[in-house]
Amino acid sequence: MLILKSASEIECLRAAGRIAAEVLKKVSEAVKPGVKTSELDRFAVSLMEKAGAVSAFKGYRGYPANICISLNEEVVHGIPSARKIKKGDIVSLDVGVIKDGFFGDVAGSFPAGAVSREAEMLLRVARECLADSIAQVKPDARMGDVAYAVQSKAEANGYSVVRDFTGHGIGRSLHEDLQVPNYGKPGTGVRLVEGMTFCIEPMINAGVSNVVVGDDGWTVTTKDKKLSAHVEAAVAVVKGGVDVLTAL
C-alpha cells in the first residue's frame, strides 16, 4: 500500500531525516585510519541519544548493530566490528533513526585519509548519481526517470549499478511500499505524486553489478571484489518539485 504524507507528516520526516544527516556528518568526520568500525557505531548511538532518537536498524530483521559500515568491496549492510579502518579505505556509512515514530535514512561514502584516484572518482560519481536522480523528482515524473538518472551517470563513467537492492518508501516504517531501483527506462514506472516520500540509494560498483551476501547473513559484497560506493537521501515529492528530507 502506498502511503501519501501530509505536509505535517513531511515535517516529522524532515525532523528524523535531519537527525540522521547530522549523525552521518559527525560520524563521517570521525572516519580515520586506525579507528575501529565498532567505535563509530558507538559514537553514532551516542549522537542519536542526544537528539532524542533511536537507531532504526538495530534489531531490524535481527540486524545486530546501530549503523551499517561497509568498506571497499562491501556494498551495503556491513556490520561494525573490532576491525580497524585503514588508510586508503572507502567507508560507506548508512544511518537510520526513529524520531517520534518517523524514520530517517541516509548514507554516504567517505575516504579514509588519502585514497586512490580510482576510489576518489567512484565516490564523486556516486554523489553525482544521487544528485542527478533527486533532480528528476517532481509531480508527474516517473520512477523510471529517477532510476535512469542513476544508471546513465554510472554507466557513462564505466561503472555498474547494483540491481539486487533498491531504494524504498519511508514513513512510519523504514521500508514502505515503493521501490526505487537504480536502473530503468525514462517515461516508465510509477507516476510520482505529491506526498510520496522515499529513499533513493545508488549503489555503484567499479566492476560488475553482481553482489553476494556474506556468511554473517548481512554484508553485501561485490562479486568481483572491486570497489563499491553507496549514497542515500530521503525525499518528498512536493508541489513544483522535490524536498530533500535528509538535508542538514
Applying CB under 5 A, which residues contact Co ion? 105, 199
User: Residue 29 is which amino acid?
Assistant: E
Instruction: Indicate the angle between helix axes 117-135 and 143-156, nearest 10 degrees.
Output: 160
- Residue 14, interface with ligand MF3 (CB under 6 A)? no
Exposure class string for 46-70: b at 16+ Cβ within 10 A, else e: ebbeebebbbbbbeeeebebbbbbb
- Residue 125, interface with ligand MF3 (CB under 6 A)? no
The region that residue 184 occupies, defined by phi over 0 for left and psi between -120 and 50 for alpha, beta otherwise, is left
The region that residue 52 occupies, defined by phi over 0 for left and psi between -120 and 50 for alpha, beta otherwise, is left
Alpha-carbon span 170 to 104, nearest angstrom = 8
- Residue 103, interface with ligand MF3 (CB under 6 A)? no
Contact code string over 139-168 relative to ligand MF3, x by CB under 6 A:
-----------------------------x
- Residue 94, interface with ligand MF3 (CB under 6 A)? yes
Residue nearer to Co ion on the CB measure, 115 or 154: 154
Residue nearer to Co ion on the CB measure, 105 or 128: 105
Alpha-carbon span 44 to 204, nearest angstrom = 24
Alpha-carbon span 5 to 59, nearest angstrom = 26
Residue nearer to ligand MF3 on the CB measure, 41 or 94: 94
Residue selected from 5, 14, 18, 77 as contacting ligand MF3 according to rule CB under 6 A: 77
Residue selected from 17, 78, 80, 96 as contacting ligand MF3 according to rule CB under 6 A: 96
- Residue 74, interface with ligand MF3 (CB under 6 A)? no
Nearest-approach distance from CB 56 to ligand MF3, in angstroms: 7
Nearest-approach distance from CB 179 to ligand MF3, in angstroms: 12
Contact code string over 32-71 relative to ligand MF3, x by CB under 6 A:
-------------------------x--xx-x----x---
Residues forming contacts to ligand MF3 in the complex (CB under 6 A) are: 57, 60-61, 63, 68, 77, 94, 96, 105, 107, 168, 199, 232
